[in-house]
Each structure stands twice: as structure tokens, then as C-alpha cells.
Amino acid sequence: MEPLTWTGSIAFLNPLLMIAIAALLVSIVIWIVGSIVLPEAPMSVNLDGTLSSGSGMRGLTQKALRYSFAACVALAVAYIVLGIVLGTSAGIIGAISQQFLPVWLSLIILYAMSIAFKRRLGLYGKLFDSPIGMIGFGLVMFWVFTGVFGALDLIVTHDPLSQVSGMKNKVPGTPLPSPEEGEYTWYLLGGDNLARDVFSRMVRGAWIVVQIAPLATLFAFMVGITLGLPAGYYGGRLDTFLSFLANLILAFPVILLFYLLVTPEIVATGVPNYMAAVLFVFPILFIGVLLNSRYYTRPNFRTPLLIGVLGVAIWFYLSLISTGGYIINTDSYRIWGLPTYLDLFDIPGGILVVFVSVVFVNSPTVFRIVRGLALDIKTRDYVAAAQTRGEGPWYIMLWEILPNARGPLIVDFCLRIGYTTILLGTLGFFGLGLPPESPDWGSTINEGRKLLSIYLHPALPPALALLSLVLGLNLLADGLREESLKD
């Protein structure tokens, strides 16, 4: 088999893309300089009293920018579409876009549906009014779909852990020396130092992030909200104590904390299991108090509801924290947990400790945000009205204050998923927690950086993947902030 070039038979697009990108850069510079140097467009008063402004030179620079940007996007789409049609004969780009076909289809369906029904979708629908938000959401959903389909074995070309002899550090597009029947013939993004496929590892790495980051952020929010609301609402000693604890954790440099918590020795002592047992209680508390404060006036409805919901939640909680029939299982002593036949899922110690420490690092910041919001909102009139009505404190916190704090919290949630992704990468970069052969982006960057001066291809794909996902989350948060401020 021939080695693949980057663009193959669609190489005729390359000079066009170069021209388009050059035009885009030039028009951006002219646009910026023009906004400072050129005079503003002249305004003229019409007969009916309205104002109209001519397009002027500034309008021209804007038009140039818009067209060159459109040209770049059109060319990028052309690469992808031609790649999907032509496959490997369109080089590495073509082969990769063909591999990503399920992702493209899902993105198109998602965007078509969302834009069609955007007026009925609340804040989510408004996101599609802001170009920044749309770009961010697109980047995020690209990696979410990649993670999900990658886990379903749709996108990956090779097993991310298996090594193929003769493929060590090979450049992108190298064919396998002796491909078996039905095996993908090329390493699309080359081989790493242990002769594994860089492309498949990058795709599988997305699944690890998509699994852990949103869930860990959600747990951090549960902990932060459950503690931050009473701290802000009651104030006093409780607030002083909880704030001191939060500041204590925040004063730790994150990396020192990781080095202390995420080591095999600490896993052996069972400390992460204790922390998991404590931290994972908060979601149950949150749900229980949330439902009870709302429905306690209707005991006939409340009691079965609470029994049902809390029963399932506690079952999940126990399955989460117990592994192989034990909650704590160290050499010196053990604590019995859920029996194995009731245990829904086991989480390996490495993943659990990563999850727990990420939640632990994130929750004090969430606590401070929620506390600040609660301090602000508790002085509002509707809170006073609820107090006069005789509502309990938890009802006011969870059903009056929390819904009114949702705007900043949703924005921070997006930003924090990005920050959690960065933290997961940091853990991988220092080789902490996850097993060394794991395909997560941080570990892959760490492995690739050792030979970076000679071979670029093992380190760059995961680095760019992480960058684009976090960038997408930041843009999404920006778009959400803009749209929620418009209300």
C-alpha cells in the first residue's frame, strides 16, 4: 500500500485555501486598523425623522471580512464533503473526514432540529441566536459525539492499546506493513512511541473526558450548592466555618493536592474511598431536601415520592462507593458494602481517585459563587414575601433563591467543565491516577512531549483536541452569558 499524503486527489483545493486564509488575515488586519483610522459612517436624517447611515469605508472592510471568512468556511466544508465522498483517495484529510461521518451526521441533525424549534427551547434555543455560542456549542458537541461514537467502536480505526510492529513513531499516513483482512490499512495520524495508533487514541481520549468532566462538575455543583446556600442564607458561625474550610482548600496549590491525593499509596490507604463516601452523600441530601421542602405539605404524595427517589439514589450511591462487596478494602481492615449481586457497577480505584479529587478541588469555588449569589438574592423582595408567607428556610433557599441564581450558575457550569478538562489533562500530564497506557489526552501529551523535537505527530493531536474542546466550552459560556443578559 502507498503511504497517504495529507490531501491526496483534492490537493487542488490547497492553493485556494491558502489564498482564502491569506485574504482572511489581511481583511482582519484592515478591519481592525480601519475601525481606528477610518471615520465613522456618516449619519443622515431622513424626512420622516429616522436616521440612516451609509455603509462608508467601514462597511466595505466588514464586507471583505465577511466574504473571506465565508470563503474559508466553504473551503473547509468542501474538504470534508469531498473527503467523505472520496475517502482515502483524498489523503489523510479525506480518510479522517470519512471516519468522522457519524459525527457530521449527528451534528447536522442536531443543528437542524435545534434551529427549527429554537423559539420553543428557552435558553438553549436562544443560544442559536449568537454566532459565538453556536461555534462553541458545535465544538463541544463535536467532541461529545466523537467520544460517544468512539466508545461504540464507530470512529476508531485500530485498538488504542494494541501495538503493531514496525509502526513505531511512523509519520501520519503510513500503511501497515502487513495488514490483516478487514483491518484498516493506515495509521492516519501516525504511530506513537509504542507503535500504537495516534488517531484512535485521540478519539478514545475524548470518551474519557466526556465521561468524567461533566459528571465531576455536576457533583462539585451539588456539593457547592448544598453547602453554599445555607452559608449565604444563614450567615453567622456556619458561614465563617464553611468559608474557612473552603479557603483552606483553595489555598492549596492544585498540583500539590493532586500529588498528595492521587498516588497508588494513597489509594491503598482507602482515603479516596472515605472522601467518595462523604462527597457523594451531597447529591442525595440535595435531592432529598429539594423534594421534601416542596411537597412536605402533601405527605400522601411526598412520602412515596421520597421513598422511591431516595431508594434509587441510595442504591446508586452504594453501588458507586462499594467495589467487590466492600466500601473500604485495605490490608488492615475492611468495611462491608453492597453485596456484589446488587452492585450495579464497579469503578476502578484509579478512576475513582481522579474523580474524587477533581470534585474536591472544584467544589470550594462553586461554594464561594453560590454563597455570594445567596447573599445577594436573600435581600430581594420575593424572599421577604416567602418568609412572610411562612415558608421554611430550605424551601426559600432551593425554590426561591436557587432558580433565580441559575443564569450565572449555568455559565459557570460550562466554564467549569472546561476547567475540569484542563485538570484531567494536568493529572495525565504528571502521570497521576489513570493507568499509564490509558489513551486520555493528558497522558498522551506527556508521552509525546519526550520526543517532541523529532516527532511532532504523537503529541500535537491530543493537545489540539484538548484546546478545541476547552475553547468550545469557553465560547459556549460566553454565548450563554450574552443571551441570558438579554432577558
Partner 1 sequence: MSEAIKWSNDLRNTRKTGTIMGLFILRRFGVMLLTALCLTFVVFFLTNLYPNLEKLAKTQGNQRMSDEQVEAWLGNRGYLQPTLIKYGQWLGVAPGFSKTLDDGTFVGTCTRPGLTEDTTPRFCGILQGDWGYSTVFKDEVGTIVAKRLGNTGYLMMWVLILMVPSALLVGVLAGMREGSALDRSLSTFSIVTTATPEYVSGVIFIAVFTSSTVGLKWFKGTATQAMDNPTFENFFLPVLTIALYGMGYIARMTRASMTEVMTAQYIRTARLKGVSFPNIVMKHALRNALIAPFTVIMLQFPWLLNGVVIVETLFNYKGFGWALVQAAGNNDIQLLLAISVVSVFVVLITQLISDIGYVYLNPRIRIS
Q: Which residues bind partner 1 (CB under 8 A)?
A: 28, 31-32, 34-36, 244, 247-248, 250-256, 259-261, 263, 265-266, 268-269, 271, 418, 422, 425-426, 429-430, 442, 445-446, 448-449, 452-456, 459-460, 463-464, 466-467, 470-471, 473-475, 478
Nearer to partner 1, 238 or 255 (CB): 255
CB of 287 to partner 1, least distance (A): 30
Looking at residue 191, the DSSP 8-state letter turns out to be B
Nearer to partner 1, 250 or 307 (CB): 250
Nearer to partner 1, 58 or 294 (CB): 58
CB of 259 to partner 1, least distance (A): 3
Gap between the terminal Cα atoms of the chain: 59
Nearer to partner 1, 93 or 476 (CB): 476
Nearer to partner 1, 81 or 467 (CB): 467
Nearer to partner 1, 314 or 451 (CB): 451
CB of 98 to partner 1, least distance (A): 27
Looking at residue 88, the DSSP 8-state letter turns out to be G
CA angle 219/485/210 to nearest 5° reads: 30
Three-state SS letters, 448-469: HHCCCCCCCCCCHHHHHHHHHH
CB of 32 to partner 1, least distance (A): 5
Which distant-in-sequence residues (6+ apart) come within 8 Å of 117 by Cβ? Answer: 125
CB of 147 to partner 1, least distance (A): 18
CB of 208 to partner 1, least distance (A): 16
Nearer to partner 1, 150 or 458 (CB): 458
Nearer to partner 1, 32 or 81 (CB): 32
φ, ψ (nearest 5 deg) of residue 323:
-125, 125
Which distant-in-sequence residues (6+ apart) come within 8 Å of 472 by Cβ? Answer: 135, 136, 137, 138, 139, 140, 142, 143
CB of 431 to partner 1, least distance (A): 9
CB of 263 to partner 1, least distance (A): 8
**59 and 38 Cβ atoms separated by less than 8 Å:** no
Cβ burial of 306 (10 Å; 0-12, 13-18, 19+) is: middle
Looking at residue 288, the DSSP 8-state letter turns out to be H
CA-CA distance, 65 to 47, in Å (whole number)? Answer: 33
CB of 229 to partner 1, least distance (A): 18
Give the β-pairing of 186-187 and 174-175: antiparallel
Nearer to partner 1, 386 or 459 (CB): 459
Q: At what angle do helices 271-279 and 299-321 cross, to 10 degrees?
A: 160
CB of 26 to partner 1, least distance (A): 14
CA-CA distance, 169 to 166, in Å (whole number)? Answer: 9
CA-CA distance, 320 to 272, in Å (whole number)? Answer: 12
Amino acid (1-letter code) at residue 419? Y
CA-CA distance, 7 to 24, in Å (whole number)? Answer: 22
Nearer to partner 1, 91 or 472 (CB): 472
